[in-house]
Structure 1
Amino acid sequence: MSSGTGTFQGGIHPYDGKDLSKDLPTLTVMPKGDLVYPMAQQHLGAPSKPIVAVGDKVLMGQRIAEATGFISAHICCSVSGTVKAIEPRMTPSSAMVESIIIENDGQYTPAPGVGEKRDYTKMTKEEIRAAVKDAGVVGMGGAGFPTHVKITPKDDSKIDFIIANCAECEPYLTSDYRMLLEEPDRLIGGLKVIVSLFPNAEGIIAIEDNKPDAIAFIQEKVKDEPKVRVQVLKTKYPQGSERQLIYACTGRKINSSMLPADAGCIVDNCDTVISIYRAVCESTPLMRRVVTVTGDAVKKPRNLIVRTGTLYSELLEYAEGFKDGVDPEKILSGGPMMGIALTSLDVPVTKISSALLCMEKDMVAANPSTHCIRCGRCVSACPSRLVPQKMYECSSRGDDDGFVKLNGMECFECGACTYVCPAKLRLTQSFKQTRQSVAAARRKAAAEAQAKKAEEEAKAKAAEEAKKGGNKQ
C-alpha cells in the first residue's frame, strides 16, 4: 500500500491558541434549561422529520426525528422529559429552523436497550451499518455527512485506508486532542469496527506533530494491532482537510468531483470514530459533543462534554463567563478559520458543534481592505493550488463562468488565502458567495433539464396512447 509524505503543498501556520485549553481535562456538564433539536443544519442532506408530538414523554436515547432521504440522519434525544414545542428556533448559522423543544425532567431515564454492550465481531456488516444509522452518527469535524452512507461505498473490496482524522489543525480547538488522551480505547475500537467492514483496509490514526504526547500514547496503544497504525503529520493548516489529509497519509489525490472512496479511502473525524464505537459496541446514539470553550475573552477556557440541544449560553457559564470588563468583539461557533460568527448565544449545540470561541478584538474588522498588490502570497498558501487573486477578480465582477474556468469550485473555503493577504481582501467570503451562486445555477439547470425530460416523456407517452387508440378504431 502507498504511504504519504505527512504533509501537502501550500498551507499556513497561524497562531494556534491551543495552550489556553489543551491541558485541561474534559468536564462533563448537564443542561440547565430546555433542550433544542433543530431538524436541519445538524447534517448534510434532507432535514429530519419529527416523529413526536407536543406533550409526548421521551426517553434519553429515544429517536425523536427520522431521516427523510438517502443523505439525511436520525436525531435522538439526549435527555428524558416532555416535548414542549415544535417550532422554528435559531441555529448557530442564525437561520430559523424547525426544532423540537424538550423540557428536561432531570432524570436522564434511558430508552430500552440504550447502553447495552455488543460484540461487533459477532455482528454482520449490515447490522453494524444499521447500528450507525440508527444512532444518527454524522461527520463531527464540521461537515455533518451521514456516516452510515460514508461507510457504505459501492465496493467494499476497493477501500484500502480508513483514516481517523485526529489532526485538529483548526486554531484554538483542543477537543479531539483531549479525546486522544481520554478515550483512546473507544477511538481505536471504533477504527477497528470500521476496518472490519472492508477486507483489504488498514486503519490510520492521523495526528499532527504538535501533539507528541498523544502520538507516543496512541503508538503504544496500537503497537500490537496488525491493522492499525499512527501517521504523524506536519503541523500546518489545513492539514485536517479531507483532500490534504488523504494526500498526506497515502499520497493519493482527489478533487471536488471525487469522493474519498474513489481513492480507496474513508475519512472520519476523531470523535466520529468514537461515536461509531458507542453506537455499535455500546448501543448509544449520538447525543453528546466535546466542545472547546476558549478565546482571550473567556475567563476560564474549558473542554466540555455537552449534551446536544444545550444552549451555548450555558457553555459560557461553565467557563465562568467573560473576563471582567471584557465585551468580546467577535464570538464564533468553531475556530477562527472556518467558524461561524454568532449573533446570539441562545442557540443549541448540534452534532457538528466543536467550539465556542470568544475574542476580545475583531481583527478582521480592525483591518480594512485595500487594493491587491499582486504579491502572490495567496497562491503560495492555497492548499488546492488555485490562483485566489484571479478568482477574486471574477468574483468581484460577478463573472461566475470565469470563476469556474479558474477551477474556483475546487476551493473549500479554508481561509488560508485571506489569512496571508497583506491587502486584507475578503477572499474567502467572496469565494463562498460565488460558489453558492454557481451551485444554485447548476441546481436550477438540472431541475429545468429534469422537467424538460419529464415533459418530453409525457408527450411521447400521450402520443403512443393516442396511436394505440387510433389503431383500435
Structure 2
Amino acid sequence: MKVLTFKGGIHPPEGKELSEDKSLKKLKIPEQVIIPLSQHIGAPAKPIVEIGDEVKTGQKIAEANSKISANIHSSITGKVKAIGEYLHPALGKARAVVIEKTEGDEWIENKKIEDYDSVDSEKLVEIIRERGIVGMGGATFPTDVKLSPPPWKDIDYVILNGAECEPYLTCDDRLMREKTEEIIEGLKIIMKIVDADKGFIGIEHNKPSAIKNIQKLCKNINNIEVKIVKTKYPQGAEKQLIKAITNREVPVGGLPLDVGVVVQNVGTSLAIYEAIVEGKPLIERAVTVSGEAMNDTANFIVRIGDTFENLIEKAGGLKDNVKKIISGGPMMGIAQHSVKNVPVLKGVSGILAFTDKKTHHDEELPCISCASCVDICPMKLIPSKIVKFIKNEKYEEADELEISACIECGSCAYVCPSKIPIVQYMKIGKNEVRKINAQKKQEEEK
C-alpha cells in the first residue's frame, strides 16, 4: 500500500479512538436555534425576515451581501423571536436570527435535480450559491465562488479532502463510512462543474473502514481514485494535500486553481449532493463531541444554530475536572469561555472538552535556535527567525521571509521546546504586514 505525504508536519496523539466507532446520530430538532449571519468567509449575510415572521425549515432567512458571502436558511420550522447580537464561537459576538420552534418540521419545497448531467455548470453553481453551501472543513469559503475559476484557469483535478488530520475529530470519517455514495456523487457534480478529467479522494491511512468503503464504490469508476495519505498533521491542509497527491506545489500567495486543482472537503461534497439532488439547503452538519473531559463521546448530525451546551449534554455531559472547551480541533480550534447559547455554525466540525492533564500553560522561554520549527514547517518557512523580526517590530523583514505563506497550523508551537506561542506572533505579524502593504498600495495609487 503506497502512502503519500509531504515534507514536514507532526504526528500528535490522535485521540480518535474516543469517538471513531460512534455512528452518526441525528439529534432531536431543538426548541430554539440561534443562526448567526456570519458563518462564512466574506461579508455577513443580510437578513430578509423580521421579528414575528413564521418560517419553514430550509427557508432563506438571510441573503449573500456580496460576491464573497453566503445565503443562510432556517434550520427549523418556527417563528422569528429576535434579531440581534449573540455569542459566536469564532467572533465572540455577531448578529444572529433567533427562531423558536413551532409544531412539526415543515420544509420549504425546492426543485430536485437527479439528472444533473443534463444541467449546465452555471445553473449548478447558481443552485449551490442559492442553497448556502460553504466549505465544511472549517474554512467556510463560499463554495460557488470556489467552483467558478476564471476561464483561463484549466482545472485538471478535483481532490476531496478526507484526511481529517486534526486530532480527536472523527465526523468526516463517519461521513465517509455512512454517506459514501452521496459523497462520491457530490464529487462527480464538482468534476462536471469545473470540467476536470480526474477526481481523487485523499484519506489518511488511519481510516481503514472509510478507505475500504470508498475504494469499493470507486472500483468501476475510471476517473475517480482513492489516494491513501500518511497520518500526519497538517495533511489535510490544501497545499499539503495537493503536494502529496499530485506533486504540484501551489506558489506562495497563490491558490490551488493556479496549479489546476480544486479541493473540497468530503462534507462539502455531501452538502453539494444534497443541494442539487435532494434540493436541500445547508441547514445541518456532522459534529464530533469528544475529549477526555467528556463523560461520553458522540458524532451527531445537528441543525445549524443548535447550541454547544445541548450537544455536550446529549453526548453525556462534562466531567468535574474540565479545563478547556474548544470549537474545532485542538491544533487550530478556538477556546470557548462559555458553551451556553453558543451556536453550531456551518464550519463547526467539533466540540472538544479537555482536562488539566491535556491542557498546558507553559511559560515562554528564550529561543534556543534548535531549528525544530524549521524542520517541521509544512510551508518551508523559518518560524524562529520570523518571530524574532515580529518581536522587534521589523515587519517588512518578516514579509521578506514570506510570513504571509504561514497557514497557522500550529505545528511549530507544538514542537517548540521553549514553549514560544509562535502562531500568535505569526498572526500579529501577518496582520501588520497586511496593513503595511495596504498603505503602500494606497500611496502608489495616489
Which band: TM-score by shorter chain? over 0.9
The yes-or-no answer on 1:258 pairing with 2:258 is no
Question: What's the counterpart of residue 465 of structure 1?
Answer: none
Alpha-carbon contact 1:5-1:247 (below 8 Å) kept: no
Question: CA, structure 1 residues 256+64, in 2 after alignment: closer, same or farther (shift >3 Å)?
Answer: farther
Alpha-carbon contact 2:274-2:280 (below 8 Å) kept: yes
Deviation track 1:96-133 (CA, whole Å, cap 9, x = no partner) reads 2111111111411101227x453211211121111111
Alpha-carbon contact 1:66-1:74 (below 8 Å) kept: yes
Matched position secondary structure for 2:34: strand
For residue 364 of structure 1, report the CA deviation from its aligned partner: 5.4
Alpha-carbon contact 1:94-1:342 (below 8 Å) kept: no
Question: What's the counterpart of residue 62 of structure 2?
Answer: 65
Question: What's the counterpart of residue 431 of structure 2?
Answer: 436
The yes-or-no answer on 1:340 pairing with 2:342 is no
How many correspondences in the alignment? 444
- Paired with 2:289 and 2:359, the residues of 1 have a C-alpha distance of 21
Question: What's the counterpart of residue 396 of structure 1?
Answer: 391
Q: How many percent identity over aligned positions?
A: 41
Question: What's the counterpart of residue 270 of structure 1?
Answer: 266
Question: Within 5 A, what are the aligned runs for 1:122-201?
Answer: 122-155=118-151, 158-201=154-197
- Please, which moves more after superposition, 346-355 or 148-157? 148-157
Alpha-carbon contact 2:3-2:228 (below 8 Å) kept: no
Question: What's the counterpart of residue 235 of structure 1?
Answer: 231
For residue 71 of structure 1, report the CA deviation from its aligned partner: 0.7
Deviation track 1:204-239 (CA, whole Å, cap 9, x = no partner) reads 111011112221221111011122110110111000
Alpha-carbon contact 1:94-1:343 (below 8 Å) kept: no
Alpha-carbon contact 1:157-1:200 (below 8 Å) kept: no
Matched position secondary structure for 2:344: coil
Alpha-carbon contact 1:255-1:410 (below 8 Å) kept: no
Of 316, 322, 330 in structure 2, the residue corresponding to residue 328 of structure 1 is 322
For residue 154 of structure 1, report the CA deviation from its aligned partner: 1.1
Question: CA, structure 1 residues 383+85, in 2 after alignment: closer, same or farther (shift >3 Å)?
Answer: same
Unaligned 5+ residue runs, structure 2? none
- Paired with 2:313 and 2:367, the residues of 1 have a C-alpha distance of 43
Of 2, 15, 18 in structure 2, the residue corresponding to residue 17 of structure 1 is 15
Unaligned 5+ residue runs, structure 1? 453-473
Question: What's the counterpart of residue 469 of structure 1?
Answer: none
For residue 16 of structure 1, report the CA deviation from its aligned partner: 0.7
Alpha-carbon contact 2:20-2:170 (below 8 Å) kept: yes
TM, length-normalised to structure 2: 0.96
Of 26, 31, 34 in structure 1, the residue corresponding to residue 24 of structure 2 is 26
- Paired with 1:156 and 1:229, the residues of 2 have a C-alpha distance of 26
- Paired with 2:288 and 2:426, the residues of 1 have a C-alpha distance of 28
1:34 aligned partner, one-letter code: Q
Question: CA, structure 1 residues 335+362, in 2 after alignment: closer, same or farther (shift >3 Å)?
Answer: farther
- Paired with 1:162 and 1:127, the residues of 2 have a C-alpha distance of 19
Question: CA, structure 1 residues 408+315, in 2 after alignment: closer, same or farther (shift >3 Å)?
Answer: same
1:329 aligned partner, one-letter code: K
Of 415, 424, 440 in structure 1, the residue corresponding to residue 419 of structure 2 is 424
Alpha-carbon contact 2:37-2:46 (below 8 Å) kept: yes
Matched position secondary structure for 1:189: helix
Question: What's the counterpart of residue 212 of structure 1?
Answer: 208
For residue 363 of structure 1, report the CA deviation from its aligned partner: 5.0
1:343 aligned partner, one-letter code: H
For residue 156 of structure 1, report the CA deviation from its aligned partner: 7.7
Rg larger in structure? 1
The yes-or-no answer on 1:96 pairing with 2:93 is yes
Question: What's the counterpart of residue 4 of structure 2?
Answer: 6
Question: What's the counterpart of residue 249 of structure 1?
Answer: 245
Question: What's the counterpart of residue 344 of structure 2?
Answer: 349
1:108 aligned partner, one-letter code: D
For residue 396 of structure 1, report the CA deviation from its aligned partner: 1.4
- Paired with 2:152 and 2:397, the residues of 1 have a C-alpha distance of 39
For residue 309 of structure 1, report the CA deviation from its aligned partner: 0.6
Question: CA, structure 1 residues 66+449, in 2 after alignment: closer, same or farther (shift >3 Å)?
Answer: farther
Of 46, 64, 81 in structure 1, the residue corresponding to residue 78 of structure 2 is 81
Question: CA, structure 1 residues 449+84, in 2 after alignment: closer, same or farther (shift >3 Å)?
Answer: farther
RMSD, aligned α-carbons: 1.7
Deviation track 1:354-383 (CA, whole Å, cap 9, x = no partner) reads 100100127554322211111111111100
Deviation track 1:276-315 (CA, whole Å, cap 9, x = no partner) reads 0001111101111110000000011100101001111100
- Paired with 1:374 and 1:50, the residues of 2 have a C-alpha distance of 52
- Paired with 1:220 and 1:363, the residues of 2 have a C-alpha distance of 38
Question: What's the counterpart of residue 468 of structure 1?
Answer: none
Alpha-carbon contact 1:204-1:229 (below 8 Å) kept: yes
Matched position secondary structure for 1:197: helix
Alpha-carbon contact 1:39-1:48 (below 8 Å) kept: yes
For residue 449 of structure 1, report the CA deviation from its aligned partner: 5.6
Alpha-carbon contact 1:29-1:305 (below 8 Å) kept: yes
Deviation track 1:14-63 (CA, whole Å, cap 9, x = no partner) reads 001000000110110024332111111x1111111001111111111011
- Paired with 1:336 and 1:289, the residues of 2 have a C-alpha distance of 19
The yes-or-no answer on 1:380 pairing with 2:375 is yes
- Please, which moves more after superposition, 80-89 or 211-220? 211-220
Alpha-carbon contact 1:243-1:255 (below 8 Å) kept: no
1:379 aligned partner, one-letter code: V
2:10 aligned partner, one-letter code: I
Alpha-carbon contact 1:76-1:287 (below 8 Å) kept: yes
Alpha-carbon contact 1:92-1:342 (below 8 Å) kept: yes
- Paired with 1:443 and 1:33, the residues of 2 have a C-alpha distance of 46
- Paired with 2:419 and 2:10, the residues of 1 have a C-alpha distance of 16
The yes-or-no answer on 1:222 pairing with 2:218 is yes
1:411 aligned partner, one-letter code: C
Question: CA, structure 1 residues 299+125, in 2 after alignment: closer, same or farther (shift >3 Å)?
Answer: same
